[in-house]
Every structure is written in structure tokens, then in C-alpha cells.
Amino acid sequence: MTLDDLRVFVAACESGNLSSVARDLSRTQSAVSQHVKRLEAEVGLPLLERLPRGVAPTQAGRILHQAAAAGIGHLELALRQLRDLKQGDTGTVRIVTGATTVRHFMADAVVGFRRQHPHVTLEFRTENSTRRCFEALAANAADLAWITLGAPARGVEQRPVVELPWVLAVSADDPLAGRNSIVAADLARIRLIRLPANSISRARMEEQLALQGVELASTTSVADWDTAVLLAELGLGHAVVPALPGRTAAGSGRLRLIPIPMLPPLAVGWAVRQWDALSPLTREFADTVADSLLGPATPAPVRPTAG
């Protein structure tokens, strides 16, 4: 039983898909299977159940996964701390984010952190969904993931940082541009620019509108919030999006952003495998981002949920 065997096994349990694990770890699926088979031969019990779509840990697998995940987390913390001691104020912080996250949520924090730690390496990896961010964490390809918070995920701790109110983005000459707020009746008449089908933000928005009996018509879809806002500014439709930091409440130029108070705010923040297993530099970066969004005098809400 090697540490590599256990790392692959933990990733398989948390991903539920051997192909994804192989891709994330840059190995063949056969090599991933061999790691699991070695563990099963050593413990004398099946650890993963093969399903029509993916795998799931057996009862024995759940026992080993819980112990291995905790052990690997503590070991990685110790190794990171030893590297920090050896290197001084150097090291690497690895962040996985969406395409526009750094611009909207981290720009000030990155500048401030760089001034404090000029020799620390910041590695940013872009993924197009929360699920892919979780997979990067499970594969140890990232330390921190900035996500739209959703349901608890197995093997992941989530920490809310800021809540984003919803707004309707429209062009300045749109009939709704002069409104102070948007109600359900207004939304029933808009030409919606839909957010990505696999996004938590779209799911949350549509879920809340469905509760109020609102079904939106759409002929346009986009891959991210920024594109939706741009198309709305050009008059090609209406975008229901979170109000991002740095944008004025009213919008500017040809863009108008009108509050939608009927929709609950969208929570965004950090996801990690194990908060206590992060290096001091990584935790400092996460706190720097939170402070830049909330202000140093306002502590980030800490309501971790562990899957």
C-alpha cells in the first residue's frame, strides 16, 4: 500500500469516475485501476463498486476513504509547512476558478498579496463548472476553488464569502431601463439571455422563478456572466445575472442594472478539500480575497459545510 495508491483511490471515491481521475492525474485508466486493485488485494475486500456510470465506494471503501483522505490531508499540510520552513517566504498557491473570477473577485487581493509575498507563485487554473473545480481539488491539482456555492459535495468544505444580489441587465434604451426594481410580471415579458446549462447560478435563478410561477422565454445562451451582460448592453436581449463587485448598481454607458429583490442573493466563496490542511500562505491568500470583498473590519462568514 503506497501513498500513491491511496491518493488515486481517494480521488476515485470523490470523483466517482475512473476516466476523470485518469485525465486529472495524467494517467491511463488502466493505471488508475491497478492502484485500486493493489489496495483491494492487500485488504482482501472490494473497495469500489462498478456502476453503469462510474464507481462508488463499498462499505470497506468508505472506511478506507475516510481514513486515507484525512491522513493524506494532514501529510500534505506537513509537507507544505516543511517546504515553507525551507524556502522562507516562498511557495505556491494554486487556485482553480471560472473564466472571469479573477477580474471580478480577486484583482485587488492578488495585487495586495503580491506586495506582501513577492516570491510566492500564484497558479490559476480555469474550469467551466463547479463540478470540474471539485475534480481539480480531488485530484490535488488545486488548493483553493472559487465557486458558486451549492449543495454539499462529498470530500469538500465550502466557505461562503460574499452574497450577490440579482439584477436585470438591459440596454439604456430598453423599456425597462427606467425601473427602480423588477417584479415577476416584468420578467414574464423579457427576452432572456440564458446562462450556461450546467451552472449553479442558472439553476438557482430558474428554481426561484419557478416557485413564483415565472417561466422565461429565450432564444440566446452564453458561456459566462460577462457575455450575457455584453449582449444585453447591445440590446440583444435581457440578462438576469448576479451583481458583480466593481459594477455600479445602476450600470454605466449603455448598460442598466436593475435590482430584482424577489430573487434571494447568490452565495459565492471558497471550496477546499480540508481547510485545516491548507498551507499558511494559501489560507492567507483566501483571507486576503475575502477581506478585499468585505472590508478588513468585516470578517468573512464562516459556515463550512463538509460533504
> What dotted CATH number matches 89-162+267-306?
3.40.190.10
Whether pLDDT at 181 is above 80: yes
pLDDT band at residue 155 using 50, 70 and 90 as cut-offs: confident
Sorted by sequence, the CB contacts under 8 Å of residue 146 that are 6+ apart come out as 95, 96, 97, 98, 101, 105, 106, 133, 268, 269, 270, 271, 289
Positive or negative torsion for Cα 269, 102, 246, 255: negative
Mean pLDDT taken over the chain:
84
DSSP string, 19-60: HHHHHHTT--HHHHHHHHHHHHHHHTS--EEEETTEEEE-HH
Sorted by sequence, the CB contacts under 8 Å of residue 66 that are 6+ apart come out as none
pLDDT (tens digit per residue) in 202-214:
888 989 988 888 8
Name the percent of the chain lying above pLDDT 90: 34
pLDDT of residue 189: 82
Asked if 214 and 133 count as a contact pair (C-beta separation under 8 A), the reply is no
Whether pLDDT at 90 is above 70: no
pLDDT of residue 162: 94
pLDDT of residue 87: 59
The most confident of the ranges 47-51, 77-81, 185-189, 257-261 is 257-261
> What dotted CATH number matches 166-264?
3.40.190.10
pLDDT (tens digit per residue) in 59-79:
888 888 888 877 777 777 677
- Closest by alpha carbon to 154, among 11, 8, 302, 6? 11
Whole-angstrom distance, CA of residue 225 vs CA of residue 219: 16
**Where are the chain's structural domains?**
3-71, 89-162+267-306, 166-264
Q: Please give the CATH architecture assigned to the domain spanning 3-71.
A: Orthogonal Bundle (1.10)
pLDDT band at residue 217 using 50, 70 and 90 as cut-offs: confident
pLDDT (tens digit per residue) in 100-150:
888 899 999 999 999 999 989 899 999 878 888 888 888 778 999 999 998
pLDDT band at residue 234 using 50, 70 and 90 as cut-offs: very high
pLDDT band at residue 11 using 50, 70 and 90 as cut-offs: confident
Question: pTM higher than 0.75, yes or no?
Answer: no
Whether pLDDT at 198 is above 90: no
Whole-angstrom distance, CA of residue 149 vs CA of residue 162: 10
Q: Do domains 89-162+267-306 and 166-264 have the same CATH topology?
A: yes
The values of phi and psi at residue 282, to 5°, are -65, -45
Once rounded to an integer, what is the mean pLDDT over residues 174-178?
A: 92
Distance of CA 217 to the CA centre of its chain: 28
pLDDT of residue 299: 39
pLDDT of residue 81: 65
pLDDT (tens digit per residue) in 255-292:
999 999 999 999 999 999 888 888 888 999 999 999 99
Whether pLDDT at 30 is above 60: yes
